[in-house]
């Protein structure tokens, strides 16, 4: 298979750098030395592992992307931008026929999906790119479908902790709340307990100091009305490698789909998992 041209947008953000690090070790990926960046970034250059990236700011991207496409088409973009930029970025990709993998949460999700479905591109869009966590979510989704009202009359508590720079509530926690709703629990995503204070994360939660700037800890607790029964599900992630690894699989998956003529389709990480990590280790 030909090498896949990828444009990792959001540099020098932490998640974009984590994907870049993983991509450098994958022989089928050709990393373009360009990255769309936010207006808050003051520089127009970023260096990583001997590669100089041109950082393209919002006021220049409409013009600059035309030459990038002309030189390197086809391109798959990787998007880990701020939640406030989700829809704007998706509109940009659709207009310029740039297939993309998006792991950012937030934004108007229905509008996001409909834009891709009405376009000539396809995309992988998921609030969580960690394959093992997505697999766990799939199991819970299956339970919700097979056993409605399984936890009826139970009380649910959802607690999640992420680095202080994460602006929104965890998309994974919101998805899990929906599964528990289908299993009979009346619970709003507004009730999710969100922790972003590093001092509390260290002293109360026990997050290792070296991972305060990059972690994702989630606990879902179900308690019976009389408090005699408790179920608890926990998944704690330190660092960002697990998400970057899943992102690479999503890129490879999407490249295969595009090669087979996919247009106007939004894929999830469940689709990526079902495909079995095509081209892994190739």
Q: Is the pLDDT of residue 181 over 80?
A: yes
Q: What is the pLDDT of residue 131?
A: 94
Number of helical (H) and strand (E) elements in the chain, helices listed first: 9, 13
Active site residue 256: no
- The catalytically annotated residue of 17, 26, 131, 162 is 162
Q: How confident is the model at residue 2 (pLDDT cuts 50, 70, 90)?
A: confident
How far CA 254 is from CA of 45, 93, 108, in Å, comes to: 28, 15, 23
The dotted CATH code for 4-125+241-274 is 3.40.50.720
Q: How confident is the model at residue 84 (pLDDT cuts 50, 70, 90)?
A: confident
For the chain, give the mean pLDDT: 94
Q: Is the pLDDT of residue 270 over 70?
A: yes
User: Could you give the CA distance from residue 149 to residue 228 in angstroms, rounded to a whole number?
Assistant: 19
- What value does the mean pLDDT take over residues 126-146? 94
SS3 161: strand
- The catalytically annotated residue of 166, 174, 215, 257 is 166
DSSP 27-77: TTEEE-SEEE--TT---SEEEETTEEEEEE-HHHHHHHHHHHHHHH-S-EE
Q: Is the pLDDT of residue 76 over 90?
A: yes
List the chain domain ranges.
4-125+241-274, 131-238
In this predicted model, what pLDDT tens digit does every residue of 16-63 receive, in sequence order? 999 999 999 998 999 999 999 999 999 999 999 999 999 999 999 999
Q: What is the pLDDT of residue 83?
A: 81
Q: What is the pLDDT of residue 106?
A: 77
- What value does the mean pLDDT take over residues 143-160? 97
- What value does the mean pLDDT take over residues 195-223? 97
Percent of the chain past pLDDT 90, that is, above it, reads 87
131-238 folds as Dihydrodipicolinate Reductase; domain 2 (3.30.360)
Active site residue 182: no
Q: What is the pLDDT of residue 279?
A: 47
In this predicted model, what pLDDT tens digit does every residue of 106-131 receive, in sequence order? 788 899 999 999 999 999 999 889 99
Q: How confident is the model at residue 228 (pLDDT cuts 50, 70, 90)?
A: very high
- What value does the mean pLDDT take over residues 175-188? 96
In this predicted model, what pLDDT tens digit does every residue of 249-260 receive, in sequence order? 999 999 999 999
Q: How confident is the model at residue 9 (pLDDT cuts 50, 70, 90)?
A: very high
């Amino acid at each position: 298979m030909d090498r896949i041209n990828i444009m990792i947008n959001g540099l020098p953000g932490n998640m974009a750098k984590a994907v870049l690090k993983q991509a450098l070790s994958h022989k089928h990926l050709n990393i373009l030395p360009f990255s769309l960046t936010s207006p808050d970034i003051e520089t127009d250059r970023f260096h990583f592992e001997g590669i100089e990236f041109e950082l393209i700011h919002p006021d220049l991207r409409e013009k600059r992307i035309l030459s990038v496409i002309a030189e390197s088409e086809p391109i798959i973009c990787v998007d880990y931008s701020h939640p406030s930029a989700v829809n704007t970025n998706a509109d940009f990709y659709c207009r310029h026929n740039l297939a993309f993998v998006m792991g950012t949460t937030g934004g108007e999700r229905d509008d996001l999906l409909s834009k891709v479905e009405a376009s000539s591109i396809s995309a992988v869009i998921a609030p969580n790119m960690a394959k093992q966590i997505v697999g766990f979510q799939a199991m819970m989704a299956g339970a919700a479908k097979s056993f409605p009202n399984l936890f009826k009359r139970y009380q649910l508590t959802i607690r999640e902790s992420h680095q202080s720079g994460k602006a929104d509530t965890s998309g994974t926690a919101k998805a899990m709340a929906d599964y528990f709703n289908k299993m009979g629990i009346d619970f709003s995503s507004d009730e999710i307990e969100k922790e972003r204070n590093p001092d509390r994360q260290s002293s109360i939660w026990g997050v290792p100091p070296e991972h305060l700037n990059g972690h994702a800890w989630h606990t879902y607790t179900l308690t019976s009305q009389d408090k005699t029964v408790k179920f608890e599900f926990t998944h704690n992630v330190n660092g960002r490698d697990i998400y970057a690894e899943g992102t690479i699989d999503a890129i490879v998956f999407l490249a295969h789909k595009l090669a087979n003529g996919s247009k106007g389709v939004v894929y999830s990480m469940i689709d990526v998992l079902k495909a079995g990590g095509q081209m892994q280790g190739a």
